[in-house]
Amino acid sequence: MEKCLKTLSSTIVRRESIITQLYSLLGMQDESLPQSIFIFGHIATGKSLIIESLLKYLKYNHSIVNCIEHNNTRHMFDYILMDLSSTRLDTSNNFKSSYKCENLMDFIDNLQLLAKDEPNKPMLIVFDKCDRMRDMDSNLLPALLRLRELSRVNVTTLFISDVVWEKYRIKMGMFEPIKIHFSQYTKDEVAHILYLHKPKDYSEAFYKNYLNLFLSVFFRFCRDINELRYMAQLNFVKYVEPIKSGQCDENDVGALWKNIASVLKANLEVIYLRVSTEDFQERTELSQQIESTTKLALSFELPFYAKFMLIAAYLASYNPAKEDKRLFLKRSSKIKKKKRAIPVSKPIAMNTHVGPRTFPLDRMLAIFCAIIEEKVDLNANLLAQIPTMCQLGLLSLIGDNNLDEPKFKCCVNLDFVTIIGKTVGFSVKNYLYDFIR
């Protein structure tokens, strides 16, 4: 065990107790291995890295399958069997797998064939991101938990998840695996891990002081080591700018903090968006952090009907309510739309320049049904897109007094909604009162 700890600790820090616990379960090759182990914890706490490193060190015949990449049982079973048998797709087999697993029984039969030559040699199957299994066949997870019992093969299944075991339980009950929890890194542990990526040109004390300032802003809101490492490297460039320009030296902590404080707080709002360094230096608002309005609009990846819902919200915000009948009636395309005479002496302000107006939910849904070409059932799944868009900042709920008829306001501009319209083949300007009156 000491040799294993020494080897793994060279690449994995601050996880000695977890490695020791896993080694006590899997490292004793002369003893029977557990039937199944459930490993859970927050994202980026080292779960996958430690399991993969430990299995490679112990030299077990193992397969690690990502349940996001292999989102159906057939692909999952084929991948596991090929991995355990060290089969590779190439020209010799016409890039086709020799295993055909239509169901769990086929998988068990093939697993028994693999273990026929060495029945006592253990095999380990790791299901990473196994929370996706909750969306698969309800019998899959209970069967995999008892795979050794069902197949009579010396196989151990390990499940790696970001959610707790209680979220997997079903009413019928199932086998309880050994559960191992990966706790979140403390602030000191995060600082120690981030320090491993210290630039060579700066002293130890200087970089540690920067990490303390950085974590004082970010650690409360983000515990993802990968994201913190990325943001620390990104903001360090801005932190050392006054030193490179000669405005202050490394020991002037007050001046360095004054220079970086506003940048850290602004970058906290765009965490996980992976915006380039130039955008951080030149722009401050979220909509300007991404290189263009097009990228900002496409970055939301809204569902098809949610895009039409957002377009309907924009039209409700920027069109007069009295013009809805003329603009959205199904027969309006056959009616000749005459331009109204506008007195030259009285210029009229365009609605798109004045700002968004509030609108009731019923009006937005009526416009939605009018602009979409197919008949859509306004079910709960569709209506659930509305609070989602509010959380994304695309819509804003105005007031909370009237629960029967809530009012909203659209928070996107014309360029944004025009780009969204192009993705679904809808011309927004053809239905805007400002452009057809």
Q: Model confidence over 419-430: pLDDT tens digits? A: 888 888 898 988
Task: Check pLDDT > 70 for residue 284.
Answer: no
* Better-predicted residue by pLDDT, 163 or 29: 163
**Across residues 368-386, what is the average pLDDT?**
84
Cα 149–Cα 151–Cα 152 angle in degrees, nearest 5:
65
Which CATH number does the domain housing residue 49 bear? 3.40.50.300
What does the pLDDT read at residue 275?
54
Q: Are both 207 and 325 inside the same structural domain?
A: no
Which residues have CB under 8 Å from 70's CB, separation 6+?
76, 79
Q: Are both 102 and 196 inside the same structural domain?
A: no
| 3-state DSSP of 185-220 | CCHHHHHHHHHCCCCCCCCHHHHHHHHHHHHHHHCC
Q: Are both 412 and 369 inside the same structural domain?
A: yes
Tell me which of 255-269, 273-287, 415-429 is least confident: 273-287
- Reading the block at residue 40, the tokens are 């859970």
What does the pLDDT read at residue 179?
97
**Given the structure tokens 């027969």, which residue do they identify?**
331
What does the pLDDT read at residue 296?
63
What does the pLDDT read at residue 173?
82
Percent helix / strand / coil, the chain, rounded to 5 = 50, 10, 40
Q: Are both 52 and 201 inside the same structural domain?
A: no
Q: Are both 321 and 429 inside the same structural domain?
A: yes
What does the pLDDT read at residue 61?
94
Among residues 182, 215, 243, which one ends one of the domains? 182
Domains of the chain: total: 3
Q: Are both 150 and 167 inside the same structural domain?
A: yes
Task: Check pLDDT > 90 for residue 350.
Answer: no
The band of 400, judged by pLDDT with boundaries at 50, 70 and 90, is low
Q: Are both 336 and 234 inside the same structural domain?
A: no
What does the pLDDT read at residue 338?
45
Q: Are both 286 and 306 inside the same structural domain?
A: no
Among residues 256, 273, 291, which one ends one of the domains? 291
Q: Are both 133 and 269 inside the same structural domain?
A: no
What does the pLDDT read at residue 65?
96
Q: Are both 17 and 148 inside the same structural domain?
A: yes
Instruction: Give the domain range for residue 226.
Output: 187-291
Task: Check pLDDT > 70 for residue 402.
Answer: no
Q: Are both 103 and 80 inside the same structural domain?
A: yes
Among residues 166, 182, 198, which one ends one of the domains? 182
- pLDDT tens, position by position, 81-94: 999 998 776 777 76
Q: Are both 218 and 344 inside the same structural domain?
A: no
